A and B are shown apart, each in its own frame.
Chain A
Amino acid sequence: MTASAARDPEILRDSAEVVVVGTGAGGAVVAAELAEAGLDVVLLEEGEDVGRRDFTADALAQVRRLYRQRGLTGTIGNTYIPIPLGCAVGGTTVINSGTCWRAPQEVLSRWEREFGIPDLVDRGLAVEYERVESAIGVAPVPESLRGPGDERIRRGAEALGLRGEAIPRNAVGCRGTGVCIFGCPRDAKQSTNVSYVPRARAAGARLYARCRVDRIAMDGRRVRGVLATRRDARGRAAGTFEVRAPRVVVAAGALLTPVLLARSGLARRRSAVGRHLRIHPATRVLARFDEPVRAWAGVPQSYHIHEFESEGIFLQGMWLPPELQAPAVPGVGRVHKERMAAYDRLASFGALISDTSSGRVLSLGGRPLAWYRMNRDDARRLLRGIAIVARVFFAAGAREVHPGVRQRPVLRSMAEAEALEHLAVRASDLDLMAFHPMGTARMGSDPARSAVDPTGRLYGASGVWVADASVFPTSTRVNPQVTIMAMATRIAQRLAEARER
């Protein structure tokens, strides 16, 4: 059952063999794998236990309900970069687009060669990927569900001779309602709230939603359990909750995990905790056509152009309802209204890069303060991605393109799109966002360079593991969710083995 600690004031304590903090891509997988291996597991989640009946497809209501700080989380540095995070049972998987890509083998091999994580050069994460992909039903988006904006892109890419294809997603029985990032109202998207969390619970794990873990309790170097604040349905503090356990797995996401470790006194001086933040800076490019596109009618992230992946440039579908598309439309007042009135003729497409820049997460009163400076090379590569998308849109017949670049807010021709790439830009000239924070408790065999060992165990403490996007030693290059899940599968197996010894 969902033991809603706030509703049952008598439940103030529990104990388990393992406590898992967070129910997103990492935490839910660890909890299910461990519970199915016979361990007694407690799963704690700060957000609500939500389900299909809550997912009304109303973007603003869902942002309030499912997004941390109503979507206003992000990084500061040489510009502001919003990074939305999910806060619900299922974590950010509830609000993600469902795209499922394996990290390229060269990335995994590098993790072995440079960071000493064994078994990656020879077999990668193939076994774990297969296990995850079959659990969440990964398959390419059928043509019939392709978003009309993505279809325009496909045609434009074909005209320019660029290679692209349907995106593999974890959406079983998808009907193309197009609101994946506000919670799938059909339970088609196999976010962890409908896949791994129910599995964990079926195997006996106890889930406590609306419980924010404030601190990992230690006896010297050995973990004793966790202390959490319970919240009522309106978000007000409703008492404390203690779970005793000899093992704690932290999977609060790459922006929150370092904060929890720091609050618990587990971020040693000069340790890797909180450092090496990667985010995959991204942006969207809008295009206006002469004829109606009705880009909302299909899967918003259904097609990608993979021609430029060797440069670390990833071009993939992205569509948003009017309330979230409007801020990216250039202009204010009447000019802006004029452009929004053509909403049914708009299409948009995303560009993201695998970053070489990095940042840092600090704990400020228990909230993450993320600092990230995007370097010129990354800004240039992203600009190249934007320029390519603009060209593809013009090749598909767009009348006008809004690239989100300060110096050129509106492009009106292919020639202008081609010239865009040669503009000198800084990060702050681009309308940025990011969706893939990672790396803030990176894995490796050298405690001086890494936060956790190759099994996921935190250096400098006994009984604390990390199993979320934080553990990646470098950028995964591609969208990370299945790699997080595959790594979490491996970490769970190592943890279960360690317990048997």
Chain B
Amino acid sequence: MSGGGRRVLDAVLETLVPEGGAFPEGAPTFPLAERVEEFVRGAGAGTAFRLLLYGIELYPLLLPRLGRRRFSRLPLEKRERVLAAWEASRFWPRRQALHALKMIVLSQFYGQPEIHARLGYPHPLARVPIDDLPAPRETP
């Protein structure tokens, strides 16, 4: 992703999962942007994802109460308000876009072992070991 695109992505990631609050880690704590980019590329959704980011970046330019500034130039609190408004939007493509964004970003963030540990979620195979099973069937 180009420098501009990357700046928008970083701003979006930080807005969705800022550091601090309920627990210290946030998007900036991890190399999340690379993982997100890899995920959307692998799903064949790279172009749609970039368009979505540009949509978010330019959207606040339409809003006088936000000073007609690009998303990535807004302070965190205002960025949170923009995305919260997308989530509550009556215009379903906007709401769905935010939902897709949450799905892609939050799955990468909350899929990390450090965050699992933070939430008290044990690895399923640590909770129920499979050691008592016979060796898996071999593919002949």
Contact = CB atoms under 8 A, between A and B. Distances in A.
A325 B121 CA distance: 12
B45 A332 contact: no
A177 B120 contact: no
A334 to B, nearest CB: 4
A2 interface: yes
Interface residues of B, number: 52
B124 to A, nearest CB: 4
A324 B105 CA distance: 10
Given A60-B111, A323-B107, A186 B130 contact: yes
A326 B15 contact: no
B84 A52 contact: no
B28 to A, nearest CB: 13
Nearest to B126: A57
A53 B127 contact: no
Interface stretch (B1-9, B16-24, B59-67): B16-24
A334 B140 CA distance: 52
B121 A321 contact: yes
A415 interface: no
B42 A344 contact: no
Interface in B70-106: 76, 80, 83-84, 87-88, 90, 92, 95-96, 98-100, 102-103, 106
Contacts of B103: 327
A47 to B, nearest CB: 14
A137 interface: no
A428 interface: yes
Given A296-B124, A324-B107, A334 B18 contact: yes
Contacts of B84: 331-333, 335
Interface stretch (A64-72, A282-290, A463-471): A64-72
Interface string B108-127: 11110001100111111101
Contacts of B120: 343-344
A417 B90 CA distance: 21
A70 B43 contact: yes
A343 B102 CA distance: 17
Given A178-B124, A185-B130, A333-B80, 16 more contacts: A51-B137, A57-B123, A59-B111, A70-B39, A72-B43, A186-B130, A322-B110, A322-B116, A326-B110, A332-B102, A333-B21, A336-B17, A338-B22, A341-B22, A406-B95, A426-B92
8 contacts: A1-B139, A57-B125, A63-B107, A79-B96, A177-B125, A296-B121, A326-B107, A334-B21
